[in-house]
Copies of this chain bind each other. A is one copy, B any other.
Amino acid sequence: MDVQTAIRTRRSVRQYSQDAIPEEKLKKVLEAGRLAPSAHNDQPWQFIVVKDEDKKKRLAEAAAGQSFIADAPAIIVGLALHPEQVMSCGVPSYAVNLAIALDHMTLAAVEQGLGTCWIGAFSQEEVKRILDISGDHKIVALLPCGFPADEPLPKTRKSLNEIVSYR
User: Which residues of the other chain, B, contact A4 by a CB distance below 8 angstroms?
Assistant: 28, 32, 108, 111
- Residue A14, interface by CB 8 Å: no
Count A-side interface residues using an 8 Å CB cutoff.
Answer: 74
Given known contacts A2-B111, A95-B91, A104 and B165 CB-to-CB distance under 8 angstroms = no
Tell me if B64 and A88 are in contact (CB < 8 A).
yes
A52 to B158 alpha-carbon distance, docked (Å): 26
Mark interface residues in A100-129 (1 if CB within 8 Å of B CB, else 0): 100110011011000000101111100100
| Interface of chain A residues 58 through 111 with chain B (CB within 8 A) | 64, 87-93, 95-96, 98-100, 103-104, 107-108, 110-111
A residues engaging B (CB < 8 A)?
1-4, 6-8, 10-12, 27-28, 30-37, 39, 41, 43, 45-52, 55, 64, 87-93, 95-96, 98-100, 103-104, 107-108, 110-111, 118, 120-124, 127, 131, 138-141, 155-160, 163-167
